[in-house]
C-alpha cells in the first residue's frame, strides 16, 4: 500500500474523530484496567468493593449508550476508524442490551453464595466480564471482516476464562475445555471462510457495494460454502445447530450468572452481525444467490428448531434443558431472518430484548434452586412449589414466557416473528417459509411439553423433604423484578417497539 502524507493525515484525523463514538468501549476498558490494578491490593474492603467498581463501569457505559440512542436522529450513522467500525442505532441498541446484561450478571453474581464466598480471583472474574462486554460492543459495531474477527476472539477468550471461574468443580474445567476446543474450531473455520470472502470480494469491508458485486459473480454452491464457513463463527455464538454442541456442557459447568450472560449477550451480538450481513446481501447480492442464502438460513433454522426442541425433551437436568431451549430460541430468530423479503430486524430485536429478561430470570431461578435448595435435577423439584409458593408462581410466569404463551412478552415476541414469516410467505408463496412457520408454531407445543415439567414437579409431586431450607427475601424480590418486564412488555409492547423502530430507522 502506498500511503501519501495527506491521506495519512486524513486517516489519523478520522481515527481521532472516531474516539467520539467509542465512549462505552473506552469506559469499559478503563474500568478493566482499574479492576486489575485494584485487585493487586490485599485489602479486604477493597476486594469487597470490586463488584461495585465493575458495576459503576457498566452503568457508565450504559449511560453513554442511552445518550447515543437519545441523540440518534442527530448523529445518524457514522463509519469511523477508517471503515472498521460503525456507529448506528443497531450498534447502540445492542450496546444497551449488553450493558443491561452486564448489570444483571453482576446482580446475579452478588446474589450467588458460590461466587460471594469465592475470594481468590474475584477481581479477575469481574475484569473478564468487562472485557467480554467490550468485545461484544465492538462486535456489534464491526463492519470489517478483520475487525469482526478480532472482536469475536476478544469475546471468545473472555468467555473461555469466565466458564472456568469455579475451577474447583469437576465439570467447570471440562466445560471450559470443550468450549475452547469447539470455539477455536469455529473461529478457524470462520477465518477460513473470511479469507475466501476477502479473496473474491476484494475488500475486507463487508458494507461495500463492490464487495458484494464481486461476490455475485461466484457460482451458487461455491458461494454457499464460503458463506457457511464464515457464518460458522456467528452460528457458534448464537448456539445454532450444527454449532451448538458446546451449549449443554458450558451451561452445565459455568456459574449461573455467566450462563445467563452467555445465553443472552453473545447471542445478541451474533444476531447483530448476521442482521448486518443479511442487510447487505439484500441490497447488493444478485437475486439468485439471495435465494440460496434464504434456503441455507431457513435450513439451519429448521435444523436448529428441531434439534433444540426435541433434544430438550430428553433432558433431566434443568441447565441442560435450558441449553437446548436456548438453541431453539436461536432457531426461532433464524427462521424470521430467513424471511429475507421483509425486514424482520424489529421483530428480532424485540425478541432478543425479551430473551434477555427471560434468560436472566430463569437462570436466577436455577441459581436459587441450586444454591438455596440444593436442587439440580428437574425431578428433585417435587413439591418445592408448595413450600415456596412465590418462587413457584414466578417460575410458572417465566416458563410460560419461554414457551411463548400469553399473557407474557414471550408471546408477543413470537407473534411478531411469526407475523414477519407469514407476511413474507404471503408475498412470495415460498414453501420453505410455510414449513418454518408451521414447524415454529407446532414446536412451541413440543417446547411447552418440556417446560411444563417444571411446574408439574413443583406443584403436583410430593415427598419433598421437610428439611428447612431458606429462600432469602432478596432472592424473591430480585426474581420478581426480573419477571416484571415479561408481563409489562405483553401489556405495553409499544414502550419497547417505539424505541426499536427509532433504532432501526437509524441503522445501516
Partner 1 sequence: MNYILSSLIFIPLLAVLIILCLPKQFYNGIKLVSLLATGLQLILAVWLFSAFNPATTQAYQFVEQLNWISLDLQSLGLLQIQYFIGVDGISLGMVLLTGLISVVGVIASWTISKNVKGYFALYLLLVGSVMGCFLALDFFLFYLFFEFMLLPMYFLIGMWGGPRREYAAIKFFIYTLVGSLLILIVMIGLYTSVIDPVATAIRAGHAPVSGPVTTATIAEVQRQVVAGTLASESLVHTFSIPDMQQAANFVPGSILHVLSQKKLWGYPVRYLAFLLLFIGFAIKLPVVPVHTWLPDAHVEAPTAISVLLASLLLKVGGYGLFRIVYPVFPEAAAYYAYFVGLVGVVSIIYGAMCALAMADLKKMIAYSSVSHMGFVLLGLASLTAEGTNGAIYQMFSHGLISAMLFIITGVIYDRSGSRIIDNFRGLAFSMPAFTALVVIAFFASLGLPGFSGFIAELLVLLGAFSSSTVSGMLPRWMAIVATIGLLLGAAYYLWALQRMFFGKHWVHPELNGKSAMTDLTGREYLMLVPLAILVLVFGLFPSLLLQKISPGINHFLQLVLQNGG
Which residues make up the interface to partner 1 (CB under 8 A)? 342-343, 346, 386, 389, 396, 400, 405-407, 415-416, 418-419, 422-423, 425-426, 429, 434, 437-438, 441-442, 444-445, 448-449, 452, 456, 459-461, 491-494, 497-498, 501, 504
Nearest to 238 by CA among 260, 258, 262: 262
CB of 479 to partner 1, least distance (A): 18
- Determine contact, residues 293/430, Cβ cutoff 8 Å: no
Cis peptide bond upstream of 245, omega within 30: no
Closest CA relative to residue 330, chosen from 262, 443, 241, 444: 241
Q: Residue 357 CB, nearest distance to partner 1 (Å)?
A: 18
Cα 26 to Cα 4: distance, rounded to the nearest angstrom: 30
> Which of helix, strand or coil describes residue 78?
strand
**Angstrom distance (rounded) from CA 236 to CA 228:** 12
Q: Which is nearer to partner 1, 303 or 405 (CB)?
A: 405
Among residues 59 and 415, whose Cβ is nearest to partner 1? 415
Which residue lies nearer to partner 1 by CB, 41 or 460? 460
Q: Which is nearer to partner 1, 169 or 419 (CB)?
A: 419
What is the C-alpha separation between 152 and 67, in angstroms, rounded? 25
CB of 427 to partner 1, least distance (A): 8
Which residue number, 268 or 400, has a Cβ lying nearer to partner 1?
Answer: 400
Neighbours of 152 (CB within 10 A): 28
Q: Which is nearer to partner 1, 150 or 415 (CB)?
A: 415
Grid coordinates given for 307? 434439534
Q: d(Cα 214, Cα 209) in Å, to the nearest integer?
A: 9
Give min distance, CB of 431 to partner 1, in A. Answer: 8
Burial 336-375 (b: 16+ CB within 10 A, else e): bbbbbbbbbbbbbbbbbbbbbbbbbbbbbbbbbbbbbbeb
Which CB, 113 or 426, lies closer to partner 1? Answer: 426
Cβ proximity to partner 1: between 38 and 399 the closer is 399
Burial class (CB in 10 A: 0-12, 13-18, 19+), 64: buried
Instruction: Compute the least distance from the CB of residue 328 to partner 1, in Å.
Output: 15
CB of 91 to partner 1, least distance (A): 20
CB of 419 to partner 1, least distance (A): 6
Residue 476 CB, nearest distance to partner 1 (Å)?
A: 15
The answer to whether residues 84 and 143 touch, using CB atoms and an 8 Å cutoff, is yes
Amino acid at each position: 500500500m502506498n500511503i501519501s502524507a495527506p491521506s495519512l493525515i486524513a486517516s489519523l484525523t478520522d481515527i481521532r474523530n472516531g474516539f467520539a463514538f467509542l465512549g462505552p468501549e473506552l469506559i469499559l476498558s478503563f474500568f478493566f484496567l482499574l479492576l486489575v490494578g485494584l485487585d493487586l491490593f490485599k485489602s479486604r474492603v477493597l476486594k469487597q468493593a470490586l463488584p461495585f467498581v465493575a458495576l459503576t463501569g457498566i452503568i457508565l457505559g450504559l449511560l453513554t449508550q442511552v445518550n447515543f440512542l437519545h441523540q440518534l436522529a442527530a448523529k445518524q450513522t457514522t463509519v469511523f476508524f477508517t471503515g472498521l467500525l460503525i456507529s448506528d442505532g443497531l450498534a447502540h441498541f445492542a450496546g444497551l442490551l449488553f450493558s443491561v446484561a452486564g448489570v444483571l450478571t453482576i446482580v446475579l453474581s452478588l446474589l450467588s453464595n458460590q461466587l460471594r464466598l469465592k475470594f481468590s480471583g474475584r477481581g479477575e472474574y469481574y475484569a473478564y466480564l468487562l472485557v467480554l462486554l467490550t468485545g461484544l460492543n465492538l462486535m456489534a459495531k464491526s463492519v470489517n471482516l478483520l475487525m469482526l474477527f478480532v472482536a469475536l476472539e476478544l469475546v471468545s477468550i473472555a468467555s473461555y476464562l469466565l466458564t472456568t471461574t469455579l475451577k474447583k468443580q469437576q465439570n467447570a474445567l471440562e466445560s471450559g475445555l470443550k468450549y475452547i476446543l469447539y470455539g477455536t474450531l469455529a473461529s478457524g473455520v470462520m477465518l477460513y471462510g473470511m479469507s475466501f470472502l476477502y479473496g473474491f470480494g476484494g475488500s475486507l469491508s463487508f458494507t461495500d457495494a463492490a464487495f458484494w458485486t464481486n461476490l455475485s459473480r461466484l457460482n451458487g454452491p461455491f458461494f454457499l460454502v464460503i458463506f457457511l464457513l464464515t457464518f460458522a463463527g456467528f452460528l457458534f455464538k448464537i448456539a445454532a445447530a450444527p454449532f451448538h454442541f458446546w451449549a449443554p456442557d458450558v451451561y452445565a459447568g459455568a456459574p449461573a450468572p455467566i450462563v445467563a450472560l452467555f445465553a443472552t449477550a453473545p447471542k445478541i451480538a451474533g444476531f447483530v452481525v448476521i442482521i448486518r450481513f443479511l442487510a447487505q446481501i439484500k441490497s447488493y447480492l444478485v437475486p439468485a444467490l439471495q435465494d440460496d442464502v434464504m434456503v441455507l438460513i431457513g435450513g439451519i433454522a429448521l435444523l436448529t428448531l428441531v434439534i433444540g426442541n426435541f433434544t430438550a425433551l430428553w433432558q433431566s437436568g434443568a441447565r441442560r434443558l435450558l441449553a437446548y431451549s436456548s438453541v431453539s430460541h436461536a432457531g426461532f430468530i433464524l427462521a424470521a431472518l430467513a424471511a429475507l423479503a421483509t425486514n424482520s430486524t424489529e421483530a428480532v430485536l424485540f425478541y432478543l430484548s425479551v430473551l434477555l429478561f427471560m434468560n436472566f430470570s430463569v437462570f436466577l431461578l436455577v441459581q436459587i434452586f441450586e444454591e438455596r435448595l440444593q436442587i439440580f435435577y428437574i425431578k428433585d423439584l417435587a413439591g418445592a412449589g408448595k413450600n415456596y409458593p412465590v418462587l413457584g408462581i414466578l417460575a410458572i410466569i417465566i416458563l410460560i414466557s419461554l414457551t411463548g404463551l400469553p399473557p407474557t412478552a414471550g408471546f408477543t415476541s413470537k407473534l411478531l416473528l411469526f407475523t414477519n414469516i407469514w407476511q413474507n410467505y404471503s408475498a412470495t408463496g415460498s414453501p420453505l417459509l410455510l414449513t418454518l412457520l408451521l414447524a415454529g408454531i407446532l414446536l412451541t407445543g413440543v417446547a411447552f411439553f418440556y417446560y411444563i415439567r417444571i411446574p408439574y414437579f413443583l406443584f403436583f409431586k410430593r415427598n419433598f423433604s421437610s428439611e428447612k431450607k431458606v429462600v432469602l427475601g432478596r432472592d424473591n424480590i430480585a426474581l420478581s423484578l426480573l419477571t416484571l418486564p415479561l408481563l409489562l412488555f405483553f401489556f405495553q409492547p409499544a414502550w419497547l417497539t417505539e424505541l426499536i423502530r427509532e433504532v432501526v430507522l437509524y441503522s445501516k
